[in-house]
Chain A
Amino acid sequence: MTLALEIGWGTTLAIKTLIVLMIIPLGALILGYTFLLKMMSHMQSRLGPMDPGGFHGWFQLVGDGIKFLQKEDIMPDEADRRVFALAPAIVVISTFLIFLVIPTGPRLVVQHLDVGVFYALAVSSLSVVGVLMAGWASANKFALIGALRAAAQLIAYELPLLLAVVGVVIQAGTMNLNGIVIAQANGSIFGMDFFGNPFILTQIVGFVLFLIAAQAELTQTPFDMPVAESELVAGYMVEYTGFRFLFFFIGEFGTAFAFAALAATLYLGGYAIPGVNGGLADLLGPIVLFVKLMAVAFFMFWVRFTYPRLREDQLQAIAWKYLIPIGLLNIIATAIIKVAVP
Chain B
Amino acid sequence: MTTTETPGFEVDPALHRTLENARVNVELDNGDMILNLGPQHPATHGTLRLVVRLDGERVVAADPVIGYMHRGYEKLSEFRTYPQITTLINRIDWLSSFANEVPFVSGAEQLMGVEAPPRAQWIRTILTELSRIATIYLFLGEMGLQVGALTPAFWGFRDRELVLNLIEGATGGRFHPNFNRIGGLKDDLPWGWISECRATMDKILKGCDDFEDVLVGNEIFEARTRGIGIIPGELGAAYGVSGANLRASGVDWDLRRDGKPYLAYPEIDFKVWTHPDGDSFARYWVRLQETREAVRMVIQLLDGLPAGSIMAKVPRIIKVPEGEVWVEVENPLGQMGYYIVSKGATGPFRVKIRSASFSNVSILPWLLRGVYVPDVITIMGSLYFILGDIDR
Chain A residues engaging chain B, CB cutoff 8 angstroms: 40, 43-46, 78, 139, 141-142, 144-145, 221-222, 224-225, 228-233, 305-314
Contacts and interface: CB of A to CB of B under 8 A. Distances in A.
The 4 closest A-B pairs by CB, nearest first: A309-B148, A44-B154, A308-B149, A308-B147
Contacts of A231: 43, 373-374, 376-377
B223 interface: yes
B144 interface: yes
A43 B223 CA distance: 24
B377 A46 contact: no
Given A44-B151, A233-B42, A308 B220 contact: yes
Interface in B202-223: 214-215, 218, 220-221, 223
Nearest to B161: A45
Contact of B149 (A139, A145, A306, A312): A306
Interface of B: 23-24, 33, 35, 41-43, 57, 144-151, 154-155, 158, 214-215, 218, 220-221, 223-224, 372-377, 381
Given A230-B148, A306-B151, A306-B214, A145 B373 contact: yes
25 contacts: A44-B150, A44-B151, A44-B154, A141-B24, A145-B57, A145-B373, A221-B149, A221-B150, A224-B148, A230-B42, A233-B41, A305-B150, A305-B151, A306-B149, A306-B214, A308-B148, A308-B149, A308-B218, A308-B220, A308-B221, A308-B224, A310-B223, A312-B57, A312-B372, A313-B372
Contacts of A222: 148, 220
Nearest to B33: A141
Given A144-B24, A231-B374, A313-B372, A308 B154 contact: no
A311 B375 contact: yes
Main secondary structure on A side of the interface with B: loop
A306 B221 CA distance: 11
Nearest to A142: B35
Contact of A45 (B158, B375, B381): B158
Contacts of B224: 308-311, 314
Contact of A44 (B23, B155, B221, B381): B155
A38 to B, nearest CB: 15
A314 B57 CA distance: 13
A230 B223 CA distance: 17
A230 B215 contact: no
Contact of B372 (A40, A224, A232, A311): A311
Contact of B220 (A46, A225, A305, A310): A310
Nearest to A234: B42
Nearest to A306: B151
B374 A225 contact: yes
The interface centre, meaning the residue of B41, B42, B220, B381 with most chain A CB atoms within 10 A of its CB, is B220
Contacts of B150: 40, 44, 221, 305
B18 to A, nearest CB: 13
B42 A308 contact: no
Contacts of A221: 148-150
Contacts of A141: 24, 33, 35
A236 to B, nearest CB: 14
A314 B149 CA distance: 16
A46 B158 CA distance: 9
Nearest to B142: A230
The interface centre, meaning the residue of B144, B148, B151, B214 with most chain A CB atoms within 10 A of its CB, is B148
Contacts of B41: 233
B145 A230 contact: yes
A43 B151 contact: yes
Contact of A312 (B24, B151, B154, B374): B374
B181 to A, nearest CB: 37
Contacts of A308: 144, 147-149, 215, 218, 220-221, 224
A181 B99 CA distance: 65
Contacts of A225: 374
A46 B147 CA distance: 20
Given A230-B42, A309-B147, A139 B377 contact: no
Nearest to A141: B35
Nearest to B28: A144
Nearest to A144: B24
A114 B24 CA distance: 46
A311 B374 contact: yes
Nearest to B375: A311
Contact of B146 (A139, A230, A232): A230
Contacts of A228: 148, 374
Given A46-B154, A141-B35, 16 more contacts: A78-B23, A144-B24, A145-B57, A221-B149, A225-B374, A230-B145, A232-B373, A233-B41, A306-B214, A307-B148, A308-B149, A308-B215, A308-B224, A309-B147, A309-B374, A312-B372
A45 B154 contact: yes
A37 to B, nearest CB: 14
Contacts of B215: 308
B42 to A, nearest CB: 6
Contacts of B218: 307-308
Contact of B24 (A139, A313, A314): A139
B25 to A, nearest CB: 9
B47 to A, nearest CB: 15
B220 A230 contact: no
Nearest to B149: A308
Contacts of B373: 145, 231-232
B208 to A, nearest CB: 16
Contacts of A307: 148-149, 218, 220
Contacts of A78: 23-24
A16 B41 CA distance: 45
A310 B220 CA distance: 6
Contacts of A46: 154
Contacts of B24: 78, 139, 141, 144
A228 B23 CA distance: 23
